[in-house]
Chain A
Amino acid sequence: MREKLAEIKAIEEDAKAQYTHTVNVCTAAGCLSSGAAQVKEALGKEVERSGLERWCQVKGVGCLGLCTAGPLVEVESQSAMYGHVTVEDTPAIVGGLNTKPVERLRVPTGTPFFLRQNRIVLENSGRIDPERIEEYIAAGGYSGLVTALTEMTPAQVIDEVTASGLRGRGGGGYPTGLKWTTVAKAPGPDKYVICNADEGDPGAFMDRSVLESDPHRVIEGMILAGYAVGASQGYVYVRAEYPLAIEHLKKAISQARRMGLLGRSVAETTFGFNIDIRLGAGAFVCGEETALIASIEGKRGQPRPRPPYPAEYGLWGKPTLINNVESFANIPPIIRNGGEWYASLGTEKSKGTKVFALAGAITNTGIIEVPMGTSLQEIVYEIGGGVPGGGRCKAVQTGGPSGGCIPDAYLDNPVDYDSLRSLGSIMGSGGMIVMDDSSCMVDVAKYFMEFCMTESCGKCVPCRVGTVQMYRLLDKISTGRATLEDLALLENLCDMVQNTSLCGLGQTAPNPVVSTLRYFRDEYIAHIEEKRCPAGVCKIHSSVAQTDSPSYAVAEVAQ
């Protein structure tokens, strides 16, 4: 198999070398939605029209990161990246191929957005055509798998993962090596590997991007996991709202099967592994692992009490390894380069890099990957380019509905699991929403509470009833009908719902309220006592002149 991979790599490189120019068009969901498909088609026609087809190839690639400037086109030979490209721009781009780049379309690439990133998970994003396994192989893909299957024992694979210090990228931060060890040690012949691709946090789209841009990386990670823990069947649980990710994943699975990398004999060894896709119907709670398992089993998607953890009693009652997309995507490079290499990145307790989705009041909306420990300051103001128009960043919301808002004053803190927790938020899966002074923190808390209330599965009492009550109290506050007693009741409810809910959804649902109360209590008080919304977002009686102020980023991002 190693020879086969080498051969494919050689053929790919030869093929690429035939072309003087390679024009990469981002065809991930963000750029597609702003017309990338038409741009790609027009570029192809333009190349043909110019008679350049033997010298120039136009290629669809995965996410180039700077979604805000989509559709993005990159000309490798000219090191030029073009943004906001339209069909009308294509003759100029093709015309400039043999002369000089089209300056008016260029997106500067010497900025911190590109220079400060350290792309491991995203190493192939925007570089390869996600629909062709050959390009993944040419980029070094599946070589780690072949090495593991032929030269390493399952225990050695787990050792590398443990040595890497990788922690669960779904947000929990549980040491991945430890989870793998537990599943590997669990008795019984039938085990499962599940990839959690039910990304549901408002404002988070990292996993979607990885699946769209480099699906084979996730598949390779899952196969390695299967080998390490002794499973022969894997499932990717992906939300049905990600049609492109699903399409790429399906294609990738069938390609891997044809290539002999999935199936009864993976890479010509005695190890067999298969992957099937299961679609989620958009219930946020199905990202919770026990609810996800119930959903795969065809039951109502709702969590059950843990223990037992899925590692012991998971899908169909069998030991099951569940990791999220980004965790699996980290595995191939860890195996390829060694756990020690990975552990050299990041901080003492949070190793490696983390992918974030930047959204909200930020110039460079998009996907970034930075080493753990990078400060929020750097992410927001340097990589992210700050608030559009040079305004002040009021707070950064991390961790989605389970997370919290970190105010401006704390932005110099490093981003890692423990420091975010100490600030009253969480790492979460990597959504990062930047807010400026036009955001009302009561409104933000209310938005997230409404989200949790709607997404509560209804199984346990505190979450089912408590989120509704907290939402109603927040609504009362935001409309100026609340008293200080209501605020006290709200705080009490936060405590009860946190302490008594069955699963993470309910236990963390009060977090946005708790963290905004911690840092922005004065805004709550202003609503209650002065009947005034300092940000001018909430409509309080008729006395407040606010009318059409856009109720802002969070709502938009949620789309």
Chain B
Amino acid sequence: MADNVTLTIDGKQVSAAPGMLLVDAAEIANIEIPVFCSHPKLDPVGCCRMCMVEIEGPRGSRLMTACTTPVAEGMVVHTNTPQVAEVQEANLGFILLNHPLDCPICDKGGECPLQDQTMRFGPGISQLVEPKRLKQKNYDISDMIVLDQERCVLCWRCIRYLEEWEDKPQLGLHNRGNETVIDIQDGQPVDAKTSGNIIDICPVGALTNQISRFAYRPWEVERTASVCNHCSVGCNIRVDTRTHTVRRIIGRENMQVNDQWICDKGRFAHAWVNGENRLETPLLRKNGELVPVQWSEALDFIAEKLQAVKQQHGASAIGAIGSAKIGNESNYALQRLFRSVIGTNNIDHRDGADVAGLATGLPSLAGVMKPQYGPNPQVDTIFLFGIDPSEELPILDLHLKRAVKKGGAKLIIAHPRKIELTRYNGPYLAYEPGTEATLLNGLLRAAAGQKEGLNSTAVSHLADVKKWTEEADDRALADLCRTDPAAVKAAAAMLAKSEKALIIYGPQAARGSDGPAIRDGLANLAFLTGHQDRLAFVGLEANSQGARDMGVLPDRLPGHASIGSSDAVKRLEHLWECKLPTAAGQSYKQMLDGGVKALYVMGADPASERPEWAEKLDGLDLLVVQELYLTETAKRADVVLPALGWSETDATFTNLERRVQRAPKAVALPQSRAAADWAILSHLAQKLGAKWHFADAKALEAEIGKAAPIYRGLTWEALGDQGLQWDASALKSKPELKEVRQKMAKGSKEYPLTLVTGTVLFDGGTLFGATEKLDGVTVGPVVGLSPADATKLGLTEGAAVAVSSPEGSLSLTVHISEQVQPGSAWIPESLPGAPVGALLNGSVVQRVKVEKAA
């Protein structure tokens, strides 16, 4: 690193890193230079000319733009001379000349850099009385963003954001000279998944939020620093509320997480908070109907029933389902209630024990999440296995693109679909669902053939490795996995060569009975190529990590302690004043498959996942559902308890890199009798005779710190507004190589296509669907087919088809996509009116046929 340079700005000595731009150096010295086009997160462009300063030189002082001029040793800069002031005035005069000055009806008013700078640096009066230019106003550039070309000052921030961060140049300058406008390209709406960030960075009201349009004035809202709850990235956001409603959500800077960007789902899909049709009072089934009752009646009923089932069938006949969408406090309370008061380990959540997740989450994600401006990315290679950040974790996607484009990191992608990130031309390993472990064996085999870059301990087992992986030869890769063997070799070579590779896999790749084999296969590969500390599992929900950390798992106690760990059991029995059950509990799937008589569901909707489960739920002795809405599962319940959701009650969420963050209460629901999940559980525990005294979420956090040592010290106050990461070093296990085998599903003539499923960002889920203005971007009930298969089947885009598996059938429309691999059919999860679960019915790998609808 070169030494800092010293320069003088307005007589102040400033020390700055070489290459730093003058505008940033001035900020260090607390000297304000007005800007419009310049933005700390975007490359300089120098078009607004607002930041002109005088720089002394050998031939007198010159006016230069501070946003494009790098600092130099001995540079002498003046930002407050009469000439600078004159230029600033003139420039603002020019800008205001065409600006409509419709501030009273502009959403930006009150937080508008143009307003602020006009007050500070602008001319008092306008000398120019020419007519303003007339351009398009109220012009939709997507379903979410409105453009006003008259307000636009052509600073290019939106263009640059989409180019530099999204790598999707969807906005551009059109026409020339005074006629120049910003517009979409060829009439195509902006569809980048994080497009809303251009609203935040627009220095005027040219880009406004379609969903929140005219719904707030910046000075009238209450601002709450929070975190988003749509995915596991845990983007920091600010929730602006007024009169008990969320008026808008904007990004908030956290350089360890989201920089300052958030995705469009996080920004726009918030109508569900305090939305219509929310449950407001407890419901109890009487004569077959769910009718409103008092809290006491509902809770008494549940306590009585639970005790009856326990007496009749034992504690192991009772189960509880938690939720990765709900905060740590409530999940902790749930597992504590069922472990210590009921006495069962039948505790799980969706994608909990049924997915072979590692405990630790992303070990070094901070290295990827931090802006990768170039010379020092913390990882040089990223291997994504069965995960599609573009749809599942959009801000991770943004960071990955940045790491590749600016940081020179390389991407390897293994996915049954040719996902968007494959455009960066790293090796793409397509695979058939159900052949993951074979593919990993193939990778291991190719890695074992590398001459350099292998872990020295693992190398001593090379002979074994070669023997186990013998069958995963080129032919098996090509025929079974449908993977290009050359790409496998290239990927293995890259992993071996890499100094620091990060390997990320998601629930899609590790679900079901093959999950452990896939996890071990990944561990083998990570170990052999020397990246064992950087193998990571990411859940997809906002609190996937937290639900695991809290022990909402049938075989793990809070803090990832095994249920057999005597230390943990002793600690918890003392803390909870109880005797803990010793037998492992049932998983989510096992409980729903009929393993229990009474089920307590908090924030989950298994009935809509799978028809068979819905039927089984009907047959339970007791079904209690704690929910925001009357879901399919709630409709089948004996008791429905109205819960407060995210933003309605204080909670902490743990993101995919183990950062525990606060999501405080931002709105109240004065008309509702709903209660926080943990509070409901607390009251129920008391009804069941336990002495629980949690006054608020903070009290639970204090106890979590005692129950799970990794959470020690992570109190509400300590977390602050940037959160704190828990340390995974204590959970590191000794790496080992394990033989991995996978039973192949048989091909079928009747069902020629393999079903590929997964998550899309704009799905038809409850949280997204509540914002009706987003209906236009919601993915409809479609089945994706490769162009080759569509041609073979004689199907065109939009054709109505029946897709069937041995388990069931769905009516869908065809979407032809290059992303879909030949031989597979892609049906996203949670599509409105088309639960793909009908075809899977609990299985992970399924074959289907697609036929023209009759």
Contact indicator B49/A460 (Cβ below 8 Å): yes
Interface residue stretch chosen among A29-37, A103-111, A253-261, A462-470? A462-470
Contact of A305 among B65, B97, B127, B153 (CB under 8 A): B65
Q: Which residues of chain A in 480-522 are interfacial with respect to chain B, using CB atoms and an 8 Å cutoff?
A: 489, 492-493, 496, 499-502
- Does A457 sit at the interface, judged by CB under 8 A? yes
Given contacts A461-B95, A465-B95, A500-B87, contact A305 B46 (CB under 8 A): yes
* Complex-state Cα separation, A302 to B154, whole angstroms: 14
The contact string, 1 if C-beta is below 8 Å from chain A, for chain B 33-72, is: 0000000000011111110100000000001010010000
- Does B853 sit at the interface, judged by CB under 8 A? no
Q: How many residues of B contact A (CB 8 A)?
A: 32
- Does A472 sit at the interface, judged by CB under 8 A? yes
- Does B3 sit at the interface, judged by CB under 8 A? no
Q: Which residues of A contact B498 (CB under 8 A)?
A: none
Of listed B49, B63, B86, B97, residue having the most chain A CB within 10 A: B49
- Does A251 sit at the interface, judged by CB under 8 A? no
Contact indicator B178/A465 (Cβ below 8 Å): yes
Q: Which residues of chain A in 445-477 are interfacial with respect to chain B, using CB atoms and an 8 Å cutoff?
A: 453-462, 464-469, 472
Contact of B98 among A465, A467, A501 (CB under 8 A): A465
Contact of B63 among A300, A469, A492, A499 (CB under 8 A): A499
Contact indicator A460/B90 (Cβ below 8 Å): no
- Does B91 sit at the interface, judged by CB under 8 A? yes
Contact indicator B127/A458 (Cβ below 8 Å): no
Q: Which residues of chain B in 155-191 are interfacial with respect to chain A, using CB atoms and an 8 Å cutoff?
A: 172-173, 175-180
* Complex-state Cα separation, A465 to B133, whole angstroms: 10
Contact indicator A304/B154 (Cβ below 8 Å): no
* Complex-state Cα separation, A200 to B49, whole angstroms: 26
- Does B94 sit at the interface, judged by CB under 8 A? yes
Q: Which residues of B contact A300 (CB under 8 A)?
A: 172-173
- Does A283 sit at the interface, judged by CB under 8 A? yes
Contact indicator B47/A469 (Cβ below 8 Å): no
Q: Which residues of A contact B86 (CB under 8 A)?
A: 496
Contact of B45 among A304, A458, A496 (CB under 8 A): A304
| Nearest CB in chain B: distance from A281 CB, A | 11
- Does B128 sit at the interface, judged by CB under 8 A? yes
- Does B750 sit at the interface, judged by CB under 8 A? no
Contact indicator A458/B91 (Cβ below 8 Å): no
Q: Which residues of chain B in 93-108 are interfacial with respect to chain A, using CB atoms and an 8 Å cutoff?
A: 94-95, 97-98
- Does B717 sit at the interface, judged by CB under 8 A? no
| Nearest CB in chain A: distance from B178 CB, A | 5
Given contacts A465-B94, A499-B63, A500-B87, contact A453 B177 (CB under 8 A): yes
Q: Which residues of B contact A468 (CB under 8 A)?
A: 130, 177-178
Q: Which residues of A contact B173 (CB under 8 A)?
A: 300, 302, 458-459
Q: Is the interface of A mostly helix, strand, loop or mixed?
A: helix
Contact indicator A453/B178 (Cβ below 8 Å): yes
Identify the closest chain A residue to B178 (Cβ). Answer: A468
Contact indicator A489/B63 (Cβ below 8 Å): no
| Nearest CB in chain A: distance from B84 CB, A | 10
Contact of B49 among A283, A304, A461 (CB under 8 A): A461
A-B contact count (CB 8 A): 94
Identify the closest chain B residue to A503 (Cβ). Answer: B46
Contact indicator B177/A457 (Cβ below 8 Å): yes
The contact string, 1 if C-beta is below 8 Å from chain A, for chain B 204-223, is: 00000000000000000000
Contact indicator A456/B178 (Cβ below 8 Å): yes
Q: Which residues of B contact A455 (CB under 8 A)?
A: 176-177
Given contacts A465-B95, A466-B94, A469-B97, contact A458 B176 (CB under 8 A): yes
* Complex-state Cα separation, A263 to B63, whole angstroms: 45
Given contacts A459-B47, A469-B128, A472-B130, contact A454 B87 (CB under 8 A): no
Contact indicator B91/A500 (Cβ below 8 Å): yes
* Complex-state Cα separation, A8 to B179, whole angstroms: 55
Contact indicator A502/B177 (Cβ below 8 Å): no
* Complex-state Cα separation, A467 to B177, whole angstroms: 9
The contact string, 1 if C-beta is below 8 Å from chain B, for chain A 335-359, is: 0000000000000000000000000
Given contacts A300-B172, A461-B95, A469-B130, contact A502 B178 (CB under 8 A): no
Given contacts A300-B172, A472-B130, contact A465 B46 (CB under 8 A): no
The contact string, 1 if C-beta is below 8 Å from chain A, for chain B 125-155, is: 0011010000000000000000000000110
* Complex-state Cα separation, A392 to B107, whole angstroms: 62
Identify the closest chain A residue to B175 (Cβ). Answer: A458
* Complex-state Cα separation, A455 to B98, whole angstroms: 19
* Complex-state Cα separation, A304 to B789, whole angstroms: 48
Q: Which residues of B contact A499 (CB under 8 A)?
A: 52, 63, 87
Identify the closest chain A residue to B133 (Cβ). Answer: A468
* Complex-state Cα separation, A195 to B95, whole angstroms: 36
Q: Which residues of B contact A492 (CB under 8 A)?
A: 90
Identify the closest chain A residue to B52 (Cβ). Answer: A500
Q: Which residues of A contact B154 (CB under 8 A)?
A: 458-459, 461, 464
Q: Which residues of B contact A304 (CB under 8 A)?
A: 45-46
* Complex-state Cα separation, A464 to B47, whole angstroms: 10
Identify the closest chain A residue to B130 (Cβ). Answer: A472
| Nearest CB in chain B: distance from A266 CB, A | 34
* Complex-state Cα separation, A467 to B130, whole angstroms: 13
* Complex-state Cα separation, A464 to B179, whole angstroms: 9
Q: Which residues of B contact A500 (CB under 8 A)?
A: 49, 52, 63, 87, 90-91
Contact indicator B176/A461 (Cβ below 8 Å): no
Q: Which residues of A contact B178 (CB under 8 A)?
A: 453, 456, 458, 464-465, 467-468
* Complex-state Cα separation, A460 to B178, whole angstroms: 10
Contact indicator B91/A305 (Cβ below 8 Å): no
| Nearest CB in chain A: distance from B204 CB, A | 13
Contact indicator A502/B94 (Cβ below 8 Å): no
Given contacts A469-B128, A469-B130, A500-B90, contact A458 B46 (CB under 8 A): no
Of listed B47, B97, B154, B180, residue having the most chain A CB within 10 A: B47
Contact indicator A489/B179 (Cβ below 8 Å): no
Q: Which residues of B contact A496 (CB under 8 A)?
A: 86-87, 90-91
* Complex-state Cα separation, A496 to B94, whole angstroms: 10
* Complex-state Cα separation, A466 to B177, whole angstroms: 10
* Complex-state Cα separation, A500 to B62, whole angstroms: 10
Identify the closest chain B residue to A301 (Cβ). Answer: B176
Given contacts A305-B68, A500-B52, contact A462 B91 (CB under 8 A): yes
The contact string, 1 if C-beta is below 8 Å from chain B, for chain A 298-316, is: 0010101100000000000
Q: Which 10 A-B pairs have the closest CB atoms?
A: A458-B180, A465-B94, A456-B177, A305-B46, A496-B90, A305-B68, A468-B178, A500-B49, A460-B47, A459-B47
Q: A459-B154, A501-B49 are in contact. List 10 more A-B contacts (CB 8 A).
A: A300-B172, A300-B173, A302-B173, A453-B178, A458-B176, A459-B180, A460-B49, A461-B50, A496-B87, A502-B47
Interface residues of B (CB under 8 A from A): 44-50, 52, 63, 65, 68, 86-87, 90-91, 94-95, 97-98, 127-128, 130, 153-154, 172-173, 175-180
- Pairs A–B under 8 Å by Cβ, sample size 24: A300-B173, A304-B45, A305-B44, A454-B176, A455-B176, A456-B176, A456-B178, A458-B178, A459-B47, A461-B47, A461-B48, A462-B49, A464-B178, A469-B130, A489-B127, A492-B90, A496-B91, A499-B52, A499-B63, A500-B87, A500-B91, A502-B46, A502-B49, A502-B65
